Amino acid sequence: MTKYIFVTGGVVSSLGKGITAASLGVLLKRRGYRVSIIKMDPYINVDAGAMSPFQHGEVFVTVDGAETDLDLGHYERFIDEAIMGDNSCTTGKVYSAVIQRERAGGYGGATVQVIPHITNEIQDRIERVGKGKDVVIAEIGGTVGDIEGLPYLEAIRQLAGRVGRGNILYCHVTLVPYIAASGELKTKPTQHSVNELRRIGIQPDIIVCRSQYTVGAELREKIGLFCSVPAGAVFEAIDSDSIYRIPIVLHSQKFDDLVLEKLGLPGDNAPDMKDWEEFLHKYDNRKGELTVALVGKYTEIKDAYLSVNEAVSHAGIANGVKVKMMPVASEDLEAPGAEKILEGADAVLVPGGFGQRGVEGMIVAAKYAREHNVPYFGLCLGMQIAVIEFARNVLGLSGANSLEMDENTENPVIYLMEEQKNVTDVGGTSRLGAYPCDITAGSRSEKIYGANHIEERHRHRFEFNNSYIEEFDAAGMKVAGVCPTGGQVEIMENVNHPWMIGVQFHPEFLSRPVKPHPLFNAFIAAALDIQKKKEAK
C-alpha cells in the first residue's frame, strides 16, 4: 500500500520545506523506493503561469506543459524524475474542479461545502499521484495558521482515516531562531507552531528544526517534551552553503531510517549516494572563478531565474570552477555606452521572459557578446534576441525593428506563432511542455548533445520566421535544430563565433546536480577555455 508523508511548516515561510521534501525524496529513491512528490499551494490562482516573477519567482514547466511553483524544480533536480501537472495542486484547481462537478450535477443536489467536498477533492488528488508509487511526499505551502491553508491541513488529517494512520507520517519544519542579545537558541516558536498544528488535530511524528546553529541534545529533548515527540525524532537543518548538502546532513542523523521505521517499511538498504558525494567533493574543490552576466528583466528577484542559476552552478561544478552570476537589469543597458557594464563578464546569458520591456538592452548584450567573442547563451527569448541583433546589425533587415508583432513591419524575423494569434485567455496560452527537436548533423549542438534527436521543454508564444533561414544561414547564423512535428526553429548557432548558441526551449529545467545539462556544461567549458587562453597570453 502507498505510504504518505506530509511536510508542513511553521513560524515563517521559506524555511526549506521544499528542500526537506526533496531531500527525503532522493534518499528514499536511492534506497530503491518508487517516490512521487506533490506540492499543495493554497493560493487561488489555478497555476503559476500568469503570476509575476516579482511576486512568485520563476515558473517551472513540467513535461506535460503545466506551469507550476518553483519547488517542483527542486523535486525534479533531487529525485531526477519528471514531475507532471498532477504533482501541483492549488486551491484554484481544487475549487474549479468542485464547482464544475457541482454545475454538472455531480453532487446530486447536495449542499457543496468545504467539508467534505473540498477536502475530499484534495485527498483524491493526493491519492491520484500515489498510484503505482511506494511513497508520496506532499508539501503543504505556507505556514500553519494561515487561513487559506486550513482546508489542506484538514484534508491530510482526514486522510489518516481513509488510508490508515500507520500509512501516514507528519513531518513539521519549524524555526529555532538565535537571539543575539541573549546568545541563545529559542524553542518557543517551535512549541507554538506545533501547538497550532495539534489544535487542528495533527500530531507531528517528526520535527525538523531550521537554525543557524546546532540544535543540541538538550534543546531537542526540550522540544520533544513540549511537542510530544521523542527527542530522537527531532532533527536539525542548519543553514548550509549548498542545498545539495541537506540530503547528506539529514541522512547522517538517520532521518530516512526513522521515516521508514515509522511507516513500517524495510530500511535495510542504505541509500546509494556515491555520485552525490562526488558532486559535493567537486563543489568543495573548485578552483578559479568565472563571471557570467545574467541579462534579464527580473534580475532583482533572486528566485526569478532559479533553474537557470542552478543549471549554471551544476555546470560550473562539473568544470571545476566557481561561477559568479552577475545580474544585469536589461533596461540598464539601454543608455548610451552602457555596454561597459558587461566588460567584466566572461560569458553572457540571456534567459526567457515576456513583453517588450528591456528587450533593447538584451539586444545590446547580444551585440556586445558577438562583437567581442564572448560566449553567449540565449534561452527562449534569449535566442530571439540573438536573432534580432544579427538581423539588424549583420543582415540589415528592416523586419528586425522589434520583438512584438508590429503591424507596420512586413515579414518580421520574430513573430507570434500562428496558433497564438487568436488566444485571449491569460493563463496557459503559450506553447508549453516537452517537444521533440531534430539536431542538424555536423552542428556544434550535435557534438554537445551527442545525439541527433532530443526532447526539451518550452514556454513561448513567438518563433523564428522560417522564411529567413537561407539568409541567416548564408551569413553564418545557422539553424541547428528544428521541431519535426511543426517545423519551428529550435536551435541557432553563430558559426563565426567561438560559442554563440540560442535555443527556443528551456534546457535549465533538465539540469541535475549530478548530471548537468550538456548545453550549460559546454557553455561554461567554452568560457573557461577562453579565460585560460587570455591568461596564458
- Return the active site residues: 380, 506, 508
What single string gives the DSSP state of each residue in 479-499? EEEE-TTT--EEEEEETTSSS
**Type of residue numbered 314:** H
Length of the chain: 537
| Spatial contact of 118 and 175, defined as CB atoms under 8 Å apart | no
Residues with Cβ within 8 Å of residue 479, at least 6 apart in sequence: 440, 469, 472, 473, 489, 491, 492
| Spatial contact of 280 and 337, defined as CB atoms under 8 Å apart | no
**Type of residue numbered 494:** N
Residue 394 DSSP code: I
Q: Which residues pair with 493 in a beta bridge?
A: 478, 501
SS3 233: helix
User: H or E element: which one contains 123?
Assistant: helix 119-129
Q: How far apart are CA 243 and CA 519, in angstroms?
A: 23
Q: Grid coordinates representing 213?
A: 546553529
User: H or E element: which one contains 97?
Assistant: helix 91-103
Q: Which residues pair with 347 in a beta bridge?
A: 292
| Spatial contact of 525 and 518, defined as CB atoms under 8 Å apart | no
Q: Grid coordinates representing 205?
A: 511524528
Question: What angle separates helix 17-29 from helix 255-263, to the nearest 10 degrees?
Answer: 70
**Type of residue numbered 78:** F
Q: Grid coordinates representing 412?
A: 518580421
Q: How far apart are CA 384 and CA 402, in angstroms?
A: 11
Which has the closest alpha carbon to 245: 293, 281, 298? 281
Helix, strand, coil shares, percent, the chain, to 5: 45, 20, 35
| Spatial contact of 361 and 334, defined as CB atoms under 8 Å apart | yes
SS3 185: strand
Q: How far apart are CA 43 and CA 522, in angstroms?
A: 39
